[in-house]
Amino acid sequence: MFNKVVVANRGAIAARVLRALDQMGIKSVALYSEADYGAPYLEMASETYAIGASPARDSYLNQDLLLDVFERAGVDGVHPGYGFLSENAQFAERVQAAGINFIGPSPKWIHAMGHKTRAREIAAQYGMPMSKGSAVLPVQTSRKSKATSRRQRVPSEQKVSGHARCGTGRAHATVAAVHERRCRAS
């Protein structure tokens, strides 16, 4: 069991985890950026720590800053919630290297499951039930895809395969748009 857990997230996500920690009798630490100062979820925590400016890159995504706060707070567990750094294998590795438990999948599995095609292959290897889905299609130029879509009179969409940060649909674009721009996931 844990003595003190930091929730490396904000808002409703943090509130859910903080509520569960309270019910389990585990001390909790909540983080907040300038934008979250005075937010209701902060009242649910045993301790709170300011982590900087409002932009996420300067606060919730700043791994060096977070690791410093974890050390100062004396936590033995980090719950990432979801989003932000919850699917970042490097962050999970750094948390573990600091001697703190990462409450979530191991860095190995975060990395392995971060690419949807590879994740499906792994799931199939372990006999996991899966929807049929479609195989990875041969690469076509967006011009060909666009022409096929128009000829068949159906809307069409392409997903940039293997883009490191496009797991949430941000790499999806209509075929017409793919020809004019690339995935700009942030």
Flag whether 120 is in a domain. Answer: no
Compute the mean pLDDT over every residue in the chain, rounded to the nearest whole number: 84
Mean pLDDT, range 157-175, rounded to an integer: 52
- The parent domain of residue 146 ranges over 142-180
pLDDT in tens, 24-72: 999 999 999 999 999 999 999 999 999 999 999 999 999 999 999 999 9
Q: Are residues 101 and 18 in the same domain?
A: yes
Flag whether 132 is in a domain. Answer: no
Residue 167 pLDDT = 46
User: Which residue bears the tokens 């076509």?
Assistant: 140
Q: Are residues 81 and 10 in the same domain?
A: yes
Distance CA 8, CA 14 (A): 8
Between 30-34, 87-91, 165-169, the lowest mean confidence (pLDDT) is in 165-169
Q: Are residues 107 and 168 in the same domain?
A: no
Q: Are residues 101 and 35 in the same domain?
A: yes
Mean pLDDT, range 171-176, rounded to an integer: 50
% of the chain at pLDDT higher than 90: 60
Flag whether 122 is in a domain. Answer: no
pLDDT in tens, 116-139: 888 888 989 999 988 776 555 555
Q: Are residues 78 and 153 in the same domain?
A: no
For the chain, the domain total comes to: 2
Residue 148 pLDDT = 78
Q: Are residues 75 and 163 in the same domain?
A: no
Helix 89-97 × helix 63-73 angle, to 10°: 30
Residues 6+ apart with CB under 8 A from 72: 49
% of the chain at pLDDT higher than 70: 77
Q: Give the residue with greater pLDDT, 179 vs 153.
A: 153
Q: Are residues 106 and 176 in the same domain?
A: no
Flag whether 86 is in a domain. Answer: yes
Q: Are residues 102 and 10 in the same domain?
A: yes
Q: Are residues 97 and 153 in the same domain?
A: no
| CATH code, 57 | 3.40.50.20
Q: Are residues 91 and 17 in the same domain?
A: yes
Residue 165 pLDDT = 46
Distance CA 146, CA 157 (A): 9
